Amino acid sequence: MLSLDLNASPLHIAYAQVDKKGNLNSFGEITLSEIINKDRNQIKQILWEKADQIIELAKEKGKAIAIEKLNRVNKGQRGDGKGKLRKRLHYWIYKGLTDKIKALARREGIEVAEVNPAYTSVIGELRYCPIYNITKDIAGAYVIGRRALGFKEKAPKNYKELLKDKEFLTYSLEGLKDMYEETKARYGQEINKYKRKAIKKELYSIRKWSILISQSLKSEPERGLGPLYGTSLSSYHFWQVLKVALVISLLGKLFIRDFSLLRRVVISKDWKGVASQVSSLSVWAGVQSIGSQDFGNF
């Protein structure tokens, strides 16, 4: 199965080759950077070329193609005032590329399977990025391929144990409280109304994340609202809570590319070691910042 994450970015396509046993055989990315500063007709031609490249890759691997069935796409980073424009451009590229892949695949007799997109990115980030040291886009493509082949994603044992650990959840909740106060202070200092609007959305998100962690503290994770698609664990929004607890609270960021620190958590549940390392990195970054700003002319 050649699986594609077309929703990862408007500037590249991530792909993964998945065998019948669900193993990751190969992976890579196809750039779309050529579309920058091109007009619509030029972009259409580039998308046809990329679709043809994907079909040739599928023929070379002797594989069917798996993609997500999406009604909407990510709009990317927030707060720059260009979200709507970026979202329209991303959707137009995604839709155009998808249609072209399907058209060429029909001509070549290649099957295209469309799968439910629920949590493919989150599962890829948390489960496969730390283990295989791959990008989150490639990990998302891998999950898409496994889902197309009928595989369910079992949460790692240490992840499940982590969401039963009251000490860890309390640590996560305290981290979110600190994040809320810092964001609230930033909101009070910002005078640009568009940036204030973006920060206000951040505050809303942090409150929502805090509720998820609080609910997990009050009850066992297994007692949830029902099974989450793509997992074998009946849980209360298991992957959502996990992302909040691991990425946002533990690593301290929402948008990150490197998930390698989570390998320690997957293998040994050493979240305290990761927290200590993240704290050390933050302190060192602060020292470097002070050194460059205050003592640069010493």
Q: What is the pLDDT of residue 154?
A: 85
Strands of 12-18's sheet, edge to edge? 24-31, 12-18, 2-9, 65-68, 112-115
The confidence band for 7, taking pLDDT boundaries of 50, 70 and 90, is confident
Residues forming a β-bridge with 30: 13
Higher pLDDT among residues 7 and 175, named by residue:
175
Per the CB < 8 A criterion, the answer to whether 51 and 13 are in contact is no
Residue 21, token pair as written in the block: 């046993």
Two tokens, residue 149: 């082949």
Inter-axis angle of helices 271-294 and 166-189, nearest 10: 30
Mean pLDDT of 216-233: 50
* Token reading at 188: 């009070």
Residues 6+ apart with CB under 8 A from 129: 135, 136, 139, 259, 260, 262
| pLDDT surpasses 80 at 293 | no
Question: What share of the chain has pLDDT > 70, as a percent?
Answer: 80
What's the CA gap between 170 and 43, in Å, rounded? 49
Other Cβ atoms less than 10 A from the Cβ of 185: the count is: 10
**56 confidence band (pLDDT: 50, 70, 90):** very high
Model confidence at 93, pLDDT cuts 50, 70, 90, reads: confident
The residues that bridge with 68 in the sheet, in sequence order, are 115
Nearest CA to 141 among 131, 156, 129?
129
> Comparing 185 with 38, which gets the higher pLDDT?
185
Tokens of 68: 């997500």
Q: What is the pLDDT of residue 236?
A: 40
**pLDDT the model gives residue 66:** 96
CA angle 294, 296, 298 (to 5 degrees): 95
The answer, yes or no, to whether residue 224 has pLDDT greater than 80, is no
Burial of 33 (0-12, 13-18, 19+ CB in 10 A): exposed
Query: pLDDT (tens digit, 9 = 90+) per residue, 74-88?
Result: 544 433 344 554 555
Q: In this structure, what are the phi and psi dihedrals at residue 254, rounded to the nearest 5 degrees?
A: -95, -50
Angle at the Cα of 209 from the Cα atoms of 67 and 179, rounded to 5 degrees:
120
Q: Please determine, for residue 298, whether its predicted confidence score (pLDDT) is greater than 60.
A: no
pLDDT band, residue 89 (cuts 50/70/90): low
> For residue range 104-159, what is the model confidence (pLDDT) as tens digits?
999 999 999 999 988 899 999 999 999 999 999 999 999 999 999 999 888 899 99
pLDDT of residue 107: 95
Given this model, what pLDDT does residue 86 score? Answer: 54
CB 139 within 8 A of CB 132: yes
pLDDT at site 231: 41
The C-alpha atoms of residue 255 and residue 196 are separated, in whole angstroms, by 19
- Please give the residue that has the higher pLDDT: either 170 or 91: 170
**Residue type at position 135:** T
- From the list 269, 165, 174, 265, the residue with the least C-alpha distance to 220 is 165
Mean residue pLDDT of the chain comes to 82
Sign of CA dihedral 124, 10, 55, 257: negative
Q: Worst-scoring range by mean pLDDT, 199-213, 241-255, 281-295?
A: 281-295
DSSP summary character for residue 136:
H
Measure the CA–CA gap between 23 and 45, rounded to whole angstroms. Answer: 34
Judged against a pLDDT cut of 50, whether residue 284 lies above it is answered with no
Asked if pLDDT for residue 247 goes beyond 80, the answer is yes
Helices (H), the chain: 40-61, 83-108, 120-123, 129-132, 136-148, 157-162, 166-189, 193-218, 238-243, 263-268, 271-294
Query: 295 pLDDT exceeds 60?
Result: no
Residue closest to 246 by CA, chosen among 219, 278, 207: 278
Instruction: Check whether 13 has a pLDDT greater than 70.
Output: yes
Give pLDDT, residue 165.
92
